[in-house]
A = this chain, B = another copy of it.
Amino acid sequence: MERVYNFAAGPAAMPLSVLEKAKAEFTCYGSTGMSVMEMSHRSKMYLEIYQQTERLVRQVMDISDDYAVLFLPGGATMQFAAIPMNLLAENGSADYVDSGNFAHGALEEAKKYGNVRVIASSRDDKYTYIPEVTPDMIDPSACYVHITTNNTIFGTRYTSLPDTGNVPLVADASSNILSEPYDVNRFGVIYAGAQKNIGPAGMAIVIVRRDLMGKARPSTPKILDWAKQADADSMVNTPPTYTIYLAGLCMQWLLDQGGVSEMEKINIHKASLLYDVLDSSKLYRATAQKAFRSRMNVTFVTRDPDMDALFVKEAAAQGLVNLKGHRLVGGIRASIYNAMPVEGVEKLAEFMKAFEVQHV
């Protein structure tokens, strides 16, 4: 069976060379005589893998020692609770921007733990844009401001970060981390579920400014206490060891491609291949506002849901799979994370043009 081009939103395509390397050493890693997934997390051989992954994450994102890099089980949604548990004082308040489905999920979860202010929202406009945040909108005594840098479902993206002054900026970057350079020093916390640009599902990377740690409320589960995890090298308990290993291989692959800056150029090119088709089309309509278009998740519709379904079906027959839009939006979504090769996007663009010729 030939491999397909997989446009899934996450879990998503991984670099084939990473999969092939992992496959080659799947039952026997180096001279250890065992699979990485059989190694004790406390063993010297595994600790080398762990430390290598952390080193590579620090290198690709240029993370200073002022920040801890944590590998935690459970994805971004687990951190939706961990963030207020670690940062929101019992009688404090946090500012949230409601720019999409997961942004909304983050703030709903935070409400369990204290006072949440929604300072800007595009919810009533079906999240087709990123709402503006100006400094005067931010409560200077807020414990933090939370944003979601890229909107996986609705296909929007922050083109610039809000100025939050002295209030720590906390960002869920699950669906565009490592796709463009971010100055980590702008953030109090930047975190991401692994299953888009980092590796397989079941883990989040959480990058926390060290001075923000150590104030978790007493009822925080110890696995979610960032200070405890930082002290224990993310090993308060057995971490998702194999996922961490694969994340390291993905980081090395990213470096081999030229790093995040080079990847950004490729991503801009890939996204433009699709948006150019959409903008010159009589059949397709991009659903996100032009100024806020995501480079990772390209969302569009044809003239009706039946035609959308036909598009998804015919594309799949050509090896271009998982193009169905999220159930909240409908239509079509092409998720084109770092691991999606330019060739796959070119094939999709060609297919879109051919499909239009056939159906207009």
CA distance A221 to B3 in the complex (A): 38
**A112–B218 CB distance below 8 A:** yes
- List A residues 111-168 near B (Cβ within 8 Å): 112-113
A91 at the interface (CB under 8 A from B): no
- List A residues 2-55 near B (Cβ within 8 Å): 2-4, 6, 8-14, 16, 19-20, 22-23, 26-28, 30-35, 37-41, 43
Interface centre among A81, A195, A246, A321 (most CB of B within 10 A): A195
Contacts of A33 in B (CB 8 A): 1-4, 6, 319, 321
Number of copies: 2
Of the residues B37, B203, B237, B322, contact of A40 by C-beta under 8 Å = B322
Contacts of A77 in B (CB 8 A): 222-223, 236-238
Contacts of A246 in B (CB 8 A): 37
A92 at the interface (CB under 8 A from B): no
Separation in Å of the A45 CB from the closest CB of chain B? 10
Interface size on A, residues (CB 8 A): 69
**B30–A78 CB distance below 8 A:** no
A266 at the interface (CB under 8 A from B): no
**A201–B81 CB distance below 8 A:** no
- List A residues 293-316 near B (Cβ within 8 Å): none
Of the residues B13, B27, B74, B319, contact of A223 by C-beta under 8 Å = B74
CA distance A51 to B326 in the complex (A): 22
CA distance A4 to B13 in the complex (A): 33
**Binding site secondary structure of chain A:** loop
**B8–A38 CB distance below 8 A:** yes
**B2–A14 CB distance below 8 A:** no
A248 at the interface (CB under 8 A from B): no
Of the residues B27, B35, B202, contact of A240 by C-beta under 8 Å = B202
**B28–A26 CB distance below 8 A:** no
**B201–A242 CB distance below 8 A:** yes
Separation in Å of the A225 CB from the closest CB of chain B? 10
CA distance A73 to B75 in the complex (A): 9
**B23–A37 CB distance below 8 A:** no
Contacts of A243 in B (CB 8 A): 202, 240, 242
**A1–B201 CB distance below 8 A:** no
Of the residues B23, B32, B78, contact of A23 by C-beta under 8 Å = B23
Contacts of A325 in B (CB 8 A): none
Interface centre among A112, A239, A240 (most CB of B within 10 A): A240
Contacts of A9 in B (CB 8 A): 40
**B221–A219 CB distance below 8 A:** no
CA distance A11 to B42 in the complex (A): 9
**B113–A219 CB distance below 8 A:** yes
Known: A23-B27, A77-B238. 16 other contacts (CB 8 A): A4-B34, A6-B38, A9-B40, A11-B37, A11-B41, A14-B35, A19-B35, A37-B200, A77-B236, A77-B237, A81-B222, A109-B221, A200-B241, A202-B243, A219-B219, A221-B221
